[in-house]
């Protein structure tokens, strides 16, 4: 069972992704902003991050840059998603 962090501002998509992963017995934390994602990653130590690129305030690229700046998080896989224009 993996600990998965989902960063998705669209609540319906976040719930859909979370449900799909939870049915496969994974533990899931969902957040909608880059700032909340950093705090959640620190609290949960995820095995996988699912990242939407188009976030409000800070972009997914900015999050990824900060996320990778921490030595403990440099090897955590990140799935980058772009859902198109919002």
CA angle, residues 49, 43, 73, in degrees to nearest 5: 45
pTM of the model: 0.91
Structure-token pair, residue 16: 């859909």
| Mean pLDDT in residue range 5-32 | 97
Question: What's residue 58's pLDDT?
Answer: 86
**CATH 1.10.3720.10 is the classification of domain 7-81:** no
pLDDT at 86 over 70: no
DSSP string for 25-62: T-EEEEESSHHHHHHHHHHH--SEEEEES--SSS-HHH
- Using CB atoms within 10 Å of the CB of residue 44, give its burial: 0 to 12 exposed, 13 to 18 middle, 19+ buried: middle
Question: What's residue 56's pLDDT?
Answer: 83
Contacts of 25 (CB under 8 A, 6+ apart): 1
Give 25's pLDDT tier (boundaries 50, 70, 90).
very high
pLDDT one-digit tens code per residue, 36-85: 999 999 999 999 999 999 988 888 899 999 999 999 999 999 999 986 55
């Amino acid at each position: 069972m993996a600990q998965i962090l989902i960063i998705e501002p669209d609540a319906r998509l976040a719930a859909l992704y979370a449900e799909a992963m939870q049915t496969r017995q994974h533990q899931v934390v969902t957040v909608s902003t880059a700032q909340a994602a950093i705090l959640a990653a620190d609290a949960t130590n995820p095995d996988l991050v699912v990242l939407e690129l188009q976030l409000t305030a800070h972009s997914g690229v900015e999050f990824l840059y900060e996320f990778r700046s921490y030595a403990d998080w440099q090897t955590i896989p990140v799935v980058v998603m772009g859902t198109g224009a919002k």
